[in-house]
Structures are given as structure tokens and as C-alpha cells.
Chain A
Amino acid sequence: AQKVTQAQTEISVVEKEDVTLDCVYETRDTTYYLFWYKQPPSGELVFLIRRNSFDEQNEISGRYSWNFQKSTSSFNFTITASQVVDSAVYFCALSEGLTSGTYKYIFGTGTRLKVLA
């Protein structure tokens, strides 16, 4: 069965430190999609990035970067020079194709990041 593991329950860093959030997934699908979401203290879920299984290029967006490695089934998220506003719970997710042709989205348990001033 498909599965998403975020082994880091909570991480605390001091502002300006770099931090990497780990995500490991399991799937039998050859085509799949991975996502990261941010949930700030206000509670909403904000989409950050999508990656498909055929695109292993790393992506950088400002202070955020993502490292996708099929060989290790990992899709890790790095925040460079962290800021207090980065404090949030971050979720990794995998879309699972069903025999009916539809998709389900499976989430990890989340990593709570605390950035201390």
C-alpha cells in the first residue's frame, strides 16, 4: 500500500539556520505525484509544490528547495536561512491512482517546525 513517512515529528531551529524536512514514500505506481503543504498556526493548508515521478530535477523557490530522489524514495524539503514566519506544520503527500481511474491523496503525519528568534 502507498505510504508517506515523515519521521521528524518536531524540529526546532534558531532563526537563520538551514533546516531539512524529510519525506519518504512507498508506492507501486510508476507514475505518481508528490506534494508539500504548509499549515501555519492560523490553521489553513497551503500548497507549496508538486513533483511528478518523471522529473527528478531539484527545485528552488527563494529560500525553499526540494530534493526528489527516486532511488531512495525521498522528497525532502529544505528551508535556507529560516525565519520565524516559517514556523508551521509541514505535510508531505502522495497521490495514489486507483483502479477506478480516480486518485486519492495520502498524507504523512507532518513535521512541526519551530523557528526561534
Chain B
Amino acid sequence: NAGVTQTPKFRVLKTGQSMTLLCAQDMNHEYMYWYRQDPGMGLRLIHYSVGEGTTAKGEVPDGYNVSRLKKQNFLLGLESAAPSQTSVYFCASTQGAGNSPLHFGNGTRLTVT
């Protein structure tokens, strides 16, 4: 059982370039989340989705877009990367209802130069 899979694991971008991070889960979870982790700031929510075709903004959505065309996939896009988006990105999924723990992917380390 793969759980939550993130691709790629590492990426280096130049300022202004675009890219898409892919998150795939095989647990049939309704809820999916994208977080970024920065030193001293913990995990901050970028966007989330409560089901196929729905997305919502989290705490730090600016500069990012997301799509949930299929239930198992949640894509995070950076249209024009900036150095401030250098971070480790985590995708997570859960059954929902607030009492279920998040299942995390292994993260994507992104550097924007």
C-alpha cells in the first residue's frame, strides 16, 4: 500500500519558471491538503480540497494554484516561481471529519534561485 506519493522529491527552479507538484493517494480519501514547511514556522496550509472538483485556500495561498480533477490526485502549481517559495512541500490526505489523522507524503524539496 503506497499511501501518499509525491513527485518529484527534489527540484531546483529559476525565478519565473513554472512547475507542478503531483500528489497521489491510494486510500480513497476525500480530503487532501498541501502544506509548506519552513524553518521555525512549522507547517502552513497552502490549499486544500474536500473532494473531487473542489479546492479552497488555506493560510498562505498566494503564488500557488491547485486542481483536484481526480479524487486520488491533488496538484500544486507554481506559475512564476519566486525565491520566497523555496521550501519543503508536503501533501497529506485524510478520511475527513476532523478526527482522522493526516497521512503525509515524503515531501518535495524545492529551491528557487
Report A's interface with B, CB cutoff 8 A: 6, 9, 31-33, 35, 37, 43-45, 47, 50, 52, 91, 93, 95-97, 100, 102-110
Contact = CB atoms under 8 A, between A and B. Distances in A.
B50 A91 contact: no
B42 A103 contact: no
B101 A43 contact: no
The SS class assigned to the B binding surface is strand
B102 interface: yes
A52 B42 contact: no
Contacts, number: 61
Given A33-B98, A102-B50, A102-B96, A44 B42 contact: no
Nearest to B41: A109
A109 B98 contact: no
B19 to A, nearest CB: 20
B33 interface: yes
Interface stretch (B65-73, B75-83, B103-111): B103-111
Given A35-B101, A104-B58, A43 B42 contact: no
B42 A108 contact: yes
Interface in B20-47: 31, 33, 35, 40-45
B31 A102 contact: yes
B31 A103 contact: yes
